[in-house]
Amino acid sequence: MRHLIDIKDLSVQEIDGLIQCAEDIIKDPLKYAQVCRGKKLAILFFEPSTRTRLSFEAAMLDLGGSVLGFSSAETSSASKGESVSDTTRVVGCYADIIAMRHPKEGAPLAAAMKSYVPIINAGDGGHNHPTQTLTDLLTIKTEKGRLDSFTIGFCGDLKFGRTVHSLISALSRYKNIKYVFISPPELKLPDYIKTDVLDALGLEYTEIERMDEVLPELDILYMTRVQKERFFNEADYIRLKDTYIFNEEKLKLAKDDLSILHPLPRVNEISPSIDDDKRACYFRQARNGKFIRMALIMKLLEVSV
Ligand code: NCD
């Protein structure tokens, strides 16, 4: 039985296979409409979500399966004090696969250790978010036609942004990528990612504070929201939340074929006035999320067309 807790649980070949499968689903969705008939996906979300939860649900429904679960800790027995691993063990009696989001780093891993069914980490605290990474990789592949040889800028909350952490870990296995990390000093990438991922592999990266200096060099810009819910102090959040606002002025500095990604939700960091520019990929990215999750559910349930 396989789980997806960390993006590195998948080999590069498996990731490429999932991307290919998602591309095939996009071309011919009807072929996949019944492959999970009789199977159930449980959604255990202890933290808010729109895209991840609904794209998981839509993915299972489009595969012909069904969905059950809860979307907040308050409506589950967690509010009575039940442990995550007990909840998971019980839900494994009712469902064939589980997608879990939790505010505590490591909770899906703890759940997987006791689970009888595959567990998918749908975001654990400020740590990892591997299915967003699969979505991001599918988006880069469809927008750029490749997963290597580009300069990518990550901008915003690189400290708490779990999508950033997982995407760096995934990209570190592809060739010829330059990384630029744009953030205020307080929201810099955690040291463990620099030492364990980037330095360990001898990858080239720069850390800067101002976006304008590097914008003309970027092929991909990965914008992120300042993660309000992970701050200890509201005053710090208010001071930092609008550090970067990507708007039409900034767009003028960018390459014609820049791809702007954002896992969403956005707050102020991208002005809606650029949404219709062809370089704004974030709504196409959200759409991709359903297709790659369909491919992942099929893989973990070991079903095929
Ligand atoms: C992200 C998350 O939950 O980490 N959202 C998502 O899953 N698309 C990013 C965020 O909340 O800022």
The residue whose two tokens read 């998918």 is 120
Name beta bridge partners: 179. Answer: 152, 205
Answer whether residue 77 shows pLDDT above 90: no
- Same domain for 156 and 278, yes or no, is yes
**Mean pLDDT across the stretch 271-290?**
98
pLDDT at 239: 96
Answer whether residue 74 shows pLDDT above 90: no
Residue 230 lies in a domain: yes
Mean predicted lDDT score pLDDT of the chain: 97
Residue 193 lies in a domain: yes
Give the Å distance between the CA of 235 and the centre of ligand 1. Answer: 22
Q: Which of 24, 42, 52 is nearest to 290 (CA)?
A: 52
Tell me which DSSP letter residue 196 carries.
I
- Same domain for 106 and 188, yes or no, is no
Cβ atoms of 261 and 223 closer than 8 Å: yes
Residue length, the chain? 305
Residue 48 lies in a domain: yes
- Same domain for 194 and 238, yes or no, is yes
Residue 178 lies in a domain: yes
**Mean pLDDT across the stretch 70-79?**
88
Cβ–Cβ contacts within 10 Å for residue 5, how many? 22
| 210 annotated active-site | no
Q: What percent of the chain has pLDDT over 70?
A: 100
pLDDT, tens digit (0-9, with 9 covering 90-100), for 168-179: 999 999 999 999
Cα 68 to Cα 114: distance, rounded to the nearest angstrom: 20
Q: Which atom of ligand 1 is nearest to the CA of 47?
A: 3
Phi and psi (nearest 5°) for 81?
Answer: 105, 10
* Token reading at 267: 């707050």
- Same domain for 274 and 168, yes or no, is yes
- Same domain for 20 and 102, yes or no, is yes
Cis peptide before 265 (omega within 30 of 0): yes
Give the Å distance between the CA of 156 and the centre of ligand 1. Answer: 13
Give the Å distance between the CA of 247 and the centre of ligand 1. Answer: 21
Residue 1 lies in a domain: no
Answer whether residue 228 shows pLDDT above 90: yes
Cβ atoms of 88 and 111 closer than 8 Å: yes
- Same domain for 96 and 111, yes or no, is yes
**Mean pLDDT across the stretch 200-226?**
97
pLDDT at 211: 96
pLDDT, tens digit (0-9, with 9 covering 90-100), for 2-56: 999 999 999 999 999 999 999 999 999 999 999 999 999 999 999 999 999 999 9
The four Cα atoms 171, 175, 176, 181 give a dihedral, to 10 degrees, of 10
Answer whether residue 78 shows pLDDT above 90: no
| 188 annotated active-site | no
| Catalytic-role residue among 3, 39, 52, 224 | 52
CATH number of 205's domain: 3.40.50.1370
**Mean pLDDT across the stretch 73-93?**
92
pLDDT at 75: 83
Answer whether residue 162 shows pLDDT above 90: yes
Q: Is 263 in the pocket of ligand 1 (CB under 6 A)?
A: yes
pLDDT at 150: 98
**Mean pLDDT across the stretch 80-87?**
93
Question: Which residue's C-alpha comes closest to atom 6 of ligand 1?
Answer: 263
The answer to pTM > 0.95 is yes
- Same domain for 135 and 106, yes or no, is no
- Same domain for 11 and 99, yes or no, is yes
Q: Is 51 in the pocket of ligand 1 (CB under 6 A)?
A: yes
- Same domain for 177 and 208, yes or no, is yes
Cβ atoms of 186 and 227 closer than 8 Å: no
pLDDT at 79: 86
**Mean pLDDT across the stretch 66-92?**
92
- Same domain for 181 and 112, yes or no, is no
pLDDT at 76: 85
Cα 132 to Cα 288: distance, rounded to the nearest angstrom: 10
Q: Is 264 in the pocket of ligand 1 (CB under 6 A)?
A: yes
With bands split at pLDDT 50, 70 and 90, how would you rate the model's confidence at 152? very high
pLDDT at 296: 98
What is the number of domains present in the chain? Answer: 2
**Mean pLDDT across the stretch 227-254?**
96
- Same domain for 152 and 274, yes or no, is yes
E strand or H helix at 142: helix 130-144
Cβ atoms of 164 and 158 closer than 8 Å: yes
Answer whether residue 217 shows pLDDT above 90: yes
Q: Which domain holds residue 113?
A: 7-128+288-301
Question: Which residue's C-alpha comes closest to atom 7 of ligand 1?
Answer: 52
Give the Å distance between the CA of 31 and the centre of ligand 1. Answer: 30
- Same domain for 143 and 108, yes or no, is no
Residue 142 lies in a domain: yes
| 52 annotated active-site | yes
Residue 2 lies in a domain: no
Phi and psi (nearest 5°) for 155?
Answer: -130, 135
* Token reading at 151: 């300069």
Q: Is 286 in the pocket of ligand 1 (CB under 6 A)?
A: no
Residue 190 lies in a domain: yes
Answer whether residue 98 shows pLDDT above 90: yes
Name beta bridge partners: 4. Answer: 120
Cα 284 to Cα 286: distance, rounded to the nearest angstrom: 5
Cα 244 to Cα 223: distance, rounded to the nearest angstrom: 9
Give the Å distance between the CA of 163 and the centre of ligand 1. Answer: 7
